[in-house]
Amino acid sequence: MKLELSELLKEAKADAPPPRYGVDDAVAAGRKLKARRRTLWSVGGGAALAVAVAGVVVLPQVVARQDAPATPSAAAAAAPSEAKPKAVPLTYPESRWEYAFHGYKTGKYQVNEPFLVTAGFQQATIRIGDEVEEVYGELKRPLEEGEQPKKEDYKIAYSAPGSSLLLTVYRPGAFDPALFADGTKVSVGGKSGLFKKNAHLDGDPTRKDEGHPGLAWKYAGNAWAVINTSKPNETSSKDLVAIAQGLSGAEAYPATVATKLNFVPAGYELVSGGRGADWPNGTGEFQRTNLRLVKGAEEKATGLKTPVLDDENSKVQDIRINLYRTDFSENRPPQGADQLAPYCNSGNTKLCYRMAPGGKWQVEIEGSGQEPTSELKKILAGITFASIEDGATWFPIESATP
Q: pLDDT digits over 53-79, tens only?
A: 332 333 334 445 544 443 333 334 455
From the list 252, 285, 259, 251, the residue with the least C-alpha distance to 396 is: 259
* pTM of the complete model beyond 0.85: no
Cα separation, 97 vs 95, whole angstroms: 5
Query: Which residues share a beta bridge with 225?
Result: 169, 217
Cα separation, 93 vs 387, whole angstroms: 27
Q: 328 vs 391, which has greater pLDDT? A: 391
Instruction: Quickly state the pLDDT bin for 204 (edges 50, 70, 90).
Output: confident
Residue 25 phi, psi (nearest 5): -70, -40
From the DSSP assignment, how many helices (H) and strands (E) are in the chain?
Answer: 5, 26
∠ CA(182), CA(20), CA(52), 5° rounding? Answer: 120
pLDDT at 280: 55
Q: 89 vs 342, which has greater pLDDT? A: 342
Taking CA atoms, 335 is separated from 106, 163, 305, 331, 338, in Å, by 49, 37, 47, 12, 9
Are the C-beta atoms of 182 and 309 separated by less than 8 Å? no
Q: Which of 83-92, 123-132, 194-203, 341-350 has the least mean pLDDT? A: 83-92
Number of Cβ atoms within 10 Å of the Cβ of 14: 7
From the list 24, 227, 194, the residue with the least C-alpha distance to 126 is: 227
Q: pLDDT digits over 242-255, tens only?
A: 999 999 999 999 99
Query: Which residues share a beta bridge with 64?
Result: 133
